[in-house]
């Protein structure tokens, strides 16, 4: 029987009230929080009769705890047909901040909160609303809160630093600190920066989102490619690794672009007239979005025949609707079935994919059930050359 009137259950309930953060909010907003009354469960006449001895013991323990802890008990006099008049507790009242904090053993925590909050509001008044919404977040980072404030102050005084995190000169803060606290900084900085001082369009932290949002330099993702036609070589170079910006500026007379998932297959890809092969991106194919030389070329994607291979193909086709799959069909799967393996259900892609052709989607759905997978490196090089020959001849 879970009676709120037992001291143990009362403590658990009051801790839940504490975790709502309303006490902190009232203090921040200078609103009176006391007296704080916590209602107790109503006890029916039947319950009182059936559990009289246990209830008497719980009520006695509560009254003793009240004397020790300093909270008040509000009683209600009820008249029971069998038990006569009974004083039953109906509410608990905390009349003061001191009693409330002592009861919950939160005096030290509140003292720390006040110190941090007062310092923060004095230095960054714009953070007051954030602290009101998330008082416990500030306490979560109490040990490093002053350093977080120093970072915020730096960006307020130096918006868009246009340098690497390693180059920031912030008192008491090193580059590793910022790297380790990007999440909370990404919540705090928009509270104190104006709309012109950061880029709202970058919201997440992946793909250097923090650096992009706050005007920092970063190690850009790289795209590796091979030029498959020696006549298109750039100063004799055919194996290139470029930043995304450099790749978007690449200006060569391409007709065909192959995108291969596997690195070795990209390195061994056969020569092909007026073509390049891009390889090793995996799910990072979003880096290829909005590239002019791809928009003007015949595009082919060659990935594993498994659920993830088709997921990557679907993602690419979102950017380039005319891209075709290469060696990702039922015929290829059947031809090399003795070399197939399996992927685990837990790691497979089980969501529906939006950008597959009808035949691709049928094969994808079959793979979702069978979990069969044919890795692209298991397909013979001779078969690849045969298919590429057919493509070049317009078949």
Encode pLDDT of 142-183 as tens digits: 999 999 999 999 999 999 999 999 999 998 898 899 999 999
Same domain, 94 and 60: yes
Q: How confident is the model at residue 62 (pLDDT cuts 50, 70, 90)?
A: confident
Q: Is the pLDDT of residue 33 over 50?
A: yes
Nearest-angstrom CA–CA distance, 76 and 378: 80
**What's the CATH code of the domain at 299?**
3.40.1360.10
Residues 332-364 have pLDDT tens digits of 999 999 999 999 999 999 999 999 999 999 999
- State percent of the chain over pLDDT 90: 72
What pLDDT does residue 219 have?
A: 87
pLDDT band at 39 (very low <50, low <70, confident <90, very high): confident
pLDDT at 225 over 70: yes
Q: Give 304-314 pLDDT, tens digit per residue.
A: 999 999 999 99
Last residue of a domain, one of 189, 213, 237: 213
Do residue 347 and residue 246 come from a single domain?
A: yes
CB-based burial of residue 340 (10 Å sphere; 0-12 exposed, 13-18 middle, 19+ buried)?
middle
Token pair listed for 235: 């100063």
At 125, is the pLDDT very low, low, confident or very high (cuts 50, 70, 90)? confident
Nearest to 2 by CA among 38, 51, 46: 51
Domain boundary among 213, 239, 271: 213
204 and 325 share one domain: no
Domain that holds residue 188: 108-213
pLDDT band at 6 (very low <50, low <70, confident <90, very high): confident
Which has the closest alpha carbon to 378: 344, 342, 336, 328?
Answer: 336
Are 43 and 174 within one domain?
no
Task: Report the domain count for the chain.
Answer: 3
Neighbours of 327 (CB within 10 A): 24
Which of the four pLDDT bands, split at 50, 70 and 90, describes residue 84? low
- Which of 160, 190, 213 is the last residue before a domain boundary? 213
Cβ neighbours for 292, distance < 8 A, ≥ 6 positions apart: 248
What is residue 65's three-state secondary structure? Answer: helix
Do the domain assignments include residue 2?
A: no
| In a shared domain, residues 97 and 113 | no
Q: Let me know if residue 323 belongs to a domain.
A: yes
- For the cut 80, the answer to whether the pLDDT of residue 49 exceeds it is no
């Amino acid at each position: 029987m879970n009676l709120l009137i037992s001291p143990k259950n009362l403590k658990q309930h009051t801790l839940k009230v504490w975790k709502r953060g309303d006490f902190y909010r009232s203090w921040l907003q200078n609103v009176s929080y006391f007296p704080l009354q916590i209602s107790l469960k109503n006890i029916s006449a039947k319950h009182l009769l059936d559990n009289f001895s246990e209830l008497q013991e719980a009520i006695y323990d509560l009254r003793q705890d009240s004397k020790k802890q300093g909270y008040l008990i509000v009683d209600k006099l009820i008249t029971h047909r069998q038990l006569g008049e009974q004083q039953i507790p109906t509410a608990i009242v905390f009349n003061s901040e001191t009693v409330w904090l002592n009861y919950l053993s939160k005096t030290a925590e509140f003292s720390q909160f006040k110190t941090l909050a007062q310092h923060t509001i004095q230095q960054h008044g714009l953070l007051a609303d954030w602290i009101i919404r998330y008082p416990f977040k500030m306490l979560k980072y109490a040990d490093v809160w002053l350093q977080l404030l120093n970072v915020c102050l730096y960006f307020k005084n130096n918006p868009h630093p246009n340098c690497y995190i390693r180059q920031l000169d912030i008192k008491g803060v090193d580059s590793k600190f910022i790297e380790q606290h990007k999440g909370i900084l990404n919540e705090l900085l928009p509270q104190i920066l104006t709309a012109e001082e950061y880029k709202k369009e970058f919201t997440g932290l992946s793909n250097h989102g923090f650096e992009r949002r706050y005007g920092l330099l970063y190690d850009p993702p790289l795209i590796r490619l091979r030029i498959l036609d020696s006549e298109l070589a750039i100063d004799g170079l055919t194996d290139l690794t470029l930043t995304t910006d450099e790749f978007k500026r690449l200006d060569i007379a391409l007709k065909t672009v192959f995108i291969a998932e596997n690195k070795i297959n990209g390195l061994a890809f056969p020569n092909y007239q007026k073509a390049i092969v891009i390889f090793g991106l995996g799910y990072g194919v979003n880096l290829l979005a909005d590239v002019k030389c791809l928009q003007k070329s015949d595009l082919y994607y060659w990935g594993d025949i498994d659920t993830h291979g088709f997921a990557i193909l679907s993602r690419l086709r979102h950017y380039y609707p005319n891209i075709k799959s290469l060696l990702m069909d039922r015929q290829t799967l059947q031809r090399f079935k003795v070399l197939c393996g399996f992927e685990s259900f837990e790691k497979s892609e089980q969501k529906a994919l939006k950008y597959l052709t009808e035949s691709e989607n049928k094969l994808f759905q079959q793979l979702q059930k069978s979990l069969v997978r044919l890795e692209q490196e298991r397909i013979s090089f001779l078969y690849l050359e045969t298919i590429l020959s057919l493509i070049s001849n317009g078949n």
